[in-house]
Amino acid sequence: MGNTAPELKQPPAKAPASHPSGDKRFKILEVHMKKLQFKQDALIEVLHKAQELFGYLEDDVLLFVAHHLKLPPSRVYGVATFYHFFMLKPQGQHTCVVCMGTACYVKGADKVVEAVQNELKIKAGETTADNKVSLLTARCIGACGIAPAVVYDGTVTPRQTPESTMEQINKWVKS
């Protein structure tokens, strides 16, 4: 197609054995990929590990994974953005995940989210300007028997109210 011949481009650089930044986490990630025999179908497992190591998946990390699994970068990016568990932006120091499953919703989880949004002046999925608190919502964490549930920095806490949630968040804000 087209009359102009495409310009010759340099082939993509060969995957470096480790990362030029010298960051040890890349080495750990590479060992993990090796354990999975660099299998392309292990992409999601590798991304889980990468997020565990780096906290979120920045372009550099995604490219590193793509090179080592020999996958097109577009495929890696497509997978990383399909699944809500993967974060492409850094999170705040603390995370507050409000479960918005049906049981939590009918028991007032929406009021909890509203309270936090109003107090911190951020929307769900955002982080405060001082980078202290990220507010997230979950589809259902399967803790319906103790609804409404909120996860503070990985700890599931039962029967939360707007007041109890703000109490916890204020502790973080003041710290």
Partner 1 sequence: MAAKTLTIDGKQITAEEGETILQAATEAGIKIPTLCHLEGVYDIGACRLCLVEVTGTPKLLPACTLKVAEGMEVSTDTERLRKYRRMTLELLFAERNHVCAVCVANGHCELQTLAYSQGMEHVRYEYTFPKWNVDNTHRLFGMDHNRCILCTRCVRVCWHIEGAGTKNVSGRGGKSKIITDLNQEWGDSESCTECGKCVMSCPTGALFQKGSTVGESERDRNKLEFIVNAREKKQWNA
Partner 2 sequence: MILNDLIAVKEKELASQKKIVLRCCMAAGCISSDSKGVKEQLEIAVTEAGMQDEVEVRGVGCMKLCCEGPLVAVDPKNELYVKVTAENAPSIIASLKGGKANVEQTDPDAAFFKKQLSIVLANSGIVNPERIESYIAADGYLALHEVLNEMSPKEVVEAMTKSGLRGRGGAGFPTGLKWGTVAKSPGAKKYVICNADEGDPGAFMDRSVLESDPHSVLEGMAIAAYAVGADQGYLYVRAEYPLAIARLHLAIKQAKSLGLLGAGIFDSPFNFNVEIRIGAGAFVCGEETALMMSVEGKRGTPRPRPPFPAESGLFGCPTLLNNVETFANVPAIYRNGAEWFAGIGTEKSKGTKVFALAGKIKNTGLIEVPMGTPLRTIVEEMGGGAPDGGKIKAVQTGGPSGGCIPSQHLDTPVDYESLGKLGSIMGSGGMIVMDEGTRMVDVARFFMEFCMDESCGKCIPCRAGTVQMHNILDKILKRKATGRDLAKLEELCDMVRNTSLCGLGQTAPNPTMSTLRFFRNEYEELLQPDTFGAGATHSQPVTK
Q: Choose one: 53-61, 112-120, 122-130, 142-150; the region binding partner 2 (CB under 8 A).
A: 142-150
Q: Choose one: 14-22, 54-62, 72-80, 162-170; the region binding partner 2 (CB under 8 A).
A: 72-80
**Alpha helix stretches (DSSP H) within 2-139:** 24-35, 43-54, 59-69, 73-82, 102-106, 109-120
CB 90 within 8 A of CB 125: no
Fill in the per-residue mask, 106 to 135: x = in contact with partner 2 (CB under 8 A), - = not in contact: xx----------------------------
Where on the chain is the footprint of partner 1 (CB under 8 A)?
Answer: 1-2, 4, 6-7, 9, 12, 59, 62-63, 66, 71-78, 81-82
**Residue 142 near which of partner 2, partner 1, none (CB within 5-8 Å, type-dependent):** partner 2
Can you read off the two tokens belonging to residue 143?
Answer: 């803790």
Q: Which helix (H) or strand (E) holds 134?
A: strand 133-138
Instruction: Select 73 or 108, whichever has its Cβ closest to partner 1.
Output: 73
Least distance CB 25 / partner 2 (angstroms): 20
- Can you tell me the distance from the alpha carbon of 62 to that of 57, in angstroms, rounded to the nearest whole number? 6
DSSP letters for 34-74: HHTTT-GGGHHHHHHHHHHHHSS--HHHHHHHHHHHT--HH
86 near partner 2, judged by CB under 8 A: yes
